[in-house]
Chain A
Amino acid sequence: MIRLEDVSYWYPGQSRPAVAGLSFEVGPGEVVGLTGPNESGKTTVCLLAAGLAPRVVGGRLSGRTSIPAATAMLFDAPAAQLTGLHSTVFDEVAFGPCNLGLPAAEVESLTRSALATLGIAGFAARHPDHLSGGERQLVALASLLAMRPSHLVLDEPLGRLDDEGSALVATAIKALAGTGTALLVAEHRLEFLAEVATRVVAL
């Protein structure tokens, strides 16, 4: 379970907290929506919930957090999510499971499954650099799904997607929640949150 209790967080070199006195939790099988105006701190909360702030980002935190190790995060800029090292979408998506040291056959199976879940199995042999923004967003999400995270944080997952892509993401989110995955979804499209979220935290 992801749990934040009375958390305040300051980015490196900042005297004002980006987030102050925040508390919420995301349990197994739950989809918690996170919404708020621009600059309200949605991305910061995502970084905190994924355990990346302050561990990787730096800065200072007060309060208590409980972040499971198997927590993955989709960033709002899909191009940044990809490694830029791989010459096929298949290898890009397989990068995460490979890092977990899974057997090659299982890596291939997880990769195929993640691509199929998001309807992009046909992208497998394409070069990641030759994809559109929306296609990259789906590949970035597939790269996380292939790792089978128990907790998943999605920051603006619909940012560059059309209606069809958004529907695929909604289906994937519901399917993941059905398997017990805990999801935190930061999104400004309230109709999307109304469809997938079990409850919503407003900043």
Chain B
Amino acid sequence: MESDSPPPNRRELNPATKLVAALAAVAVGLTLPAWGAALVVVGTFLLAAAAQRLRALAVVFVALLPIQLSALAINALFPAGGSRAFGVEAALRLLSVALPPSLLFLTTPPDRLLADLERRGLPPAAAFVVAAALGAVPRMRDRAQCVGEALRARGLDTEGSVAGRLRGLTPFGAAMVQGTLAEVEDRTLALEVRGFRSARRRTILRPPPDRALEQAIRLLLLLVAAVAIAIRAWPR
């Protein structure tokens, strides 16, 4: 039978492999010395280039710049433990925690992750929470755009002076929070009428491919993460 749904991408990495890779990268970036964090950051950018998501990851990097620069500036003025290198290390660790999950968000459709986690036996509700988190970033971006346009239409200055923008933060934040809360209720009702809480086992259309090589890679990544945590926890 001919299918209207998109054909499986044979080069597609299994979503669980990406999830484990992101978690392992965070573990390595947080636990090993600064070179571990640097390795994670460089590796993430190389993977982003391979996945043709370099520009999007660069946007995340730029968005994190103010925090990194403030960490560097504070440490330059008040060096922790007498070492100015601590600021560089803090900035690297921040990137190693933020960039791998960002790449996961940028390369993984939420429904593919949902399908894969469910196939592995994760309860649908738990899988939904993980998948919804993946979809939250673009939804928040769209909502922010709508709220910004609505506030501008009502005369709020959101693109002028710094003082004007700061004044606009309160109504913007309030609208974002209220909208998000309303959406939670709407989504709950929507899932209810779509049978999400049905006791039957969900049918999974086109489960993501999972190769033996990827299973081995996941085991290796988990081992690397465990070793990194053990090194950190080992008493010196």
Contacts and interface: CB of A to CB of B under 8 A. Distances in A.
Nearest to A70: B195
Given A73-B193, A144-B193, A101 B6 contact: no
A77 B196 contact: no
A147 B5 contact: no
A91 B206 CA distance: 10
A52 B203 contact: no
A84 interface: yes
B194 A83 contact: yes
B6 A125 contact: yes
Contacts of A80: 183, 186-187, 189-190
B201 A101 contact: yes
A87 B3 CA distance: 16
Interface centre among B196, B200, B203, B205 (most CB of A within 10 A): B203
B194 A99 contact: yes
Secondary structure at the B interface, as helix, strand, loop or mixed, is: helix
A87 B108 CA distance: 10
A148 to B, nearest CB: 11
A102 B203 contact: yes
A88 B7 CA distance: 12
A112 B203 CA distance: 16
Interface in B187-219: 187-196, 198, 200-205
B190 A82 contact: yes
Interface residues of A, number: 43
A125 B233 CA distance: 49
Contact of A97 (B128, B189, B203): B203
Contacts of B189: 52, 56-57, 73, 75, 80
B193 A72 contact: yes
Given A80-B187, A85-B135, A129-B138, A105 B194 contact: no
Contacts of A90: 4-5
Contacts of A72: 193
B168 interface: no
Interface in B23-57: none
A175 interface: no
A61 interface: no
A143 B190 CA distance: 11
A83 B186 CA distance: 10
A96 interface: yes
The 4 closest A-B pairs by CB, nearest first: A101-B200, A80-B186, A99-B195, A124-B4
Interface of A: 50, 52, 56-57, 72-73, 75, 77, 80-88, 90-91, 94-105, 107-108, 111-112, 115, 121, 124-125, 129, 143-144, 147
Interface of B: 1, 3-6, 109-111, 114, 128, 131-132, 135, 138-139, 142, 183, 185-196, 198, 200-205
